[in-house]
Amino acid sequence: MNAAAHVSVLLDEAVDALAIRADGVYVDGTFGRGGHSRAILARLGERGRLIAFDRDPAAIEAGRALKDPRLTLVHSAFSALDEQLAELGVETVDGVLLDIGVSSPQLDDASRGMSFRFDAPLDMRMDTSHGQTVAEWLTDASVGEITEVIREYGEERFAHAIAKAIATARAGGAVATTGQLAALVEKAVRTREPGQHPATRTFQALRIFINQELEELSRVLPACVARLAPAGRLVVISFHSLEDRIVKRFMRDESRPPVLPRRLPLRAADLPPPRLLLVGKAVRPGEAELAVNPRARSAVMRVAERAREVA
């Protein structure tokens, strides 16, 4: 899968939101196939720098084709942003872009086991170099654990029925392929929204869980703010309501003064200022982008700026 096969969502909007300085230092937390990174590099001058993270070895390999001395590729989950920047000797950055979720190459590569469109080993790991696959987890997980994951991360109302179907099926052998899992879910889900495959929510839930996507996001957001220089921008594109809720609440809370006990003898002027300033409203893809890339339909972009006066 080449870079051209992956369409970066909200490309111009996201890069515009970073308010790039030619000599600035920026982080692309999710390199993918480099769409956002290329656009950032195009706006940087000779002294600018881009540090791009991805935990997918295939993404890092694709990035090696970009022979640009201003680009540093880091094979790591973005939750390790603070530690990785420290190793690189970078104290502050002028902007961070996070494009959360799965990329088109990951969905379209049958061997990754992330899609019910192909019958393939049930893997779903974003970093295929280590960690437990979904098939391995399903072998030992209890009905209660499977139910909880599918209900919490997939918001699936038939989670318990699906979990029981998986447990019954594995008694006769492991649920090892995407085709097996999709067929089980299809029988267990009695109704589904028009146009949506019955297994959509289950596959999404298991992928989010096995990659700890929400936990990774919750860990990286405070690190981003801590590393942002004054007036630096944090731009986050999410594709799932649970992800967007985390981003929205974090930015909201960081844009407000700290909540102190009511009887504490402090004036409002004495309170530490908020670390973030919200920039504009949530941005969603327009009709023209959706016509070209229907997968962008659930995308939401939120932007915040590091306050110039910091505590």
String of b and e for 102-139 (b: at least 16 CB within 10 Å)?
bbbbbbebeebbbbbebebebbbbbbbeebebbbbbbe
Neighbours of 20 (CB within 10 A): 22
Tokens encoding 299? 């995308």
Q: Is the dihedral of CA 101, 106, 110, 112 positive or negative?
A: negative
- Reported as a single tens digit per residue, the pLDDT across 170-195 is 999 989 999 999 999 999 998 777 77
**Under a CB-based contact definition with an 8 Å cutoff, are residues 38 and 62 in contact?**
no
Q: Where are the domains of the chain?
A: 3-105+213-306, 128-210
Fold category of 128-210 in CATH: DNA polymerase; domain 1 (1.10.150)
Give the whole-angstrom CA distance, residue 42 versus residue 262.
50
5 band by pLDDT with thresholds 50, 70 and 90: low
Amino acid identity for residue 44 in this structure? L
Does position 55 have pLDDT exceeding 60, yes or no?
Answer: yes
Residue located via tokens 């192909």: 118
- Reported as a single tens digit per residue, the pLDDT across 131-166 is 999 999 999 999 999 999 999 999 999 999 999 999
Residues making up the annotated binding site are 34-36, 54, 78, 99, 106
Longest dimension (CA), the chain: 68
Amino acid identity for residue 233 in this structure? R
Q: Residue 80: which of 227, 184, 183 has the closest Cα?
A: 227
Residues making up the annotated binding site for S-adenosyl-L-methionine are 34-36, 54, 78, 99, 106
**Under a CB-based contact definition with an 8 Å cutoff, are residues 55 and 127 in contact?**
yes
113 band by pLDDT with thresholds 50, 70 and 90: confident
- Reported as a single tens digit per residue, the pLDDT across 244-257 is 999 999 999 999 87
List own/partner pairs for 125-129 with CB under 8 A and 24 or more apart.
Answer: 125/210, 125/211, 126/55, 126/56, 126/102, 126/211, 127/55, 127/56, 127/57, 127/77, 127/211, 128/56, 128/57, 128/58, 129/57
Give the whole-angstrom CA distance, residue 1 versus residue 62.
9
**Under a CB-based contact definition with an 8 Å cutoff, are residues 8 and 231 in contact?**
no
Q: What are the backbone dihedrals phi and psi of residue 45, each rounded to the nearest 5 degrees, phi first?
A: -85, -170
Runs of H (alpha helix) within the chain:
11-17, 35-43, 57-63, 81-87, 104-108, 134-140, 143-154, 159-170, 178-188, 200-210, 213-227, 241-254, 287-292
Fold category of 3-105+213-306 in CATH: Rossmann fold (3.40.50)
Q: Give me the mean pLDDT over the 275-298 stretch.
A: 92
Matching fold, domains 3-105+213-306 and 128-210: no
111 band by pLDDT with thresholds 50, 70 and 90: confident
Q: Give me the mean pLDDT over the 272-290 stretch.
A: 92
Q: How many CA atoms lie within 13 A of 272 on its CB side?
A: 10
Q: Residue 170: which of 134, 118, 204, 130 has the closest Cα?
A: 134
**Under a CB-based contact definition with an 8 Å cutoff, are residues 61 and 32 in contact?**
no
Q: Give me the mean pLDDT over the 279-288 stretch.
A: 94
Across the chain, mean pLDDT equals 91
**Under a CB-based contact definition with an 8 Å cutoff, are residues 112 and 106 in contact?**
yes
For 96, the enclosing helix (H) or strand (E) is strand 93-99
Give the whole-angstrom CA distance, residue 181 versus residue 91.
46
